[in-house]
Amino acid sequence: MKEYETIFILKGNTPERDGEDLKGRLLKLIAANKGTVLVDRSWGKRQLAYPMEKQSDGVYIQLDYAAEGGVVSEIEKILRFDERVLRQMTVILQQDVDIAQRTEELNKIRQQQEAAAQPA
């Protein structure tokens, strides 16, 4: 199983609920195909580096997951035909991922980040 990262940008005027619904649809697709979601992060609304489709800002969403290649093509097809999506990109992070080990690594990173964010 490979580890992938998919980042997509929704139009800035997309309601937060619509973005969450689309993300939920993708998470269900991954789970239905025996994949595992490792990171599910919404970056919120940010200004774009350059206008796209007359939009000056967009809502960024990141999904890191372990799955078979067929899942990626389905995710990309859903995002390509959704009119709210400005851009999307999927990259392979690891060719052969050990899900348990990767989950443990990510949990350690989250704990370190939370500890660093705590006031002294």
Model confidence over 12-56: pLDDT tens digits?
888 888 888 888 999 999 888 888 888 888 888 889 888 888 888
Over range 84-95, report the average pLDDT.
89
Q: Look at residue 120 in the predicted model and tell me its pLDDT.
A: 60
CATH class of the domain whose range is 2-117: alpha beta
114 to 89, 108, 119: CA distances (angstroms):
28, 10, 10
Model confidence over 101-114: pLDDT tens digits?
777 777 777 777 77
Round the average pLDDT of the chain to a whole number and report it.
85
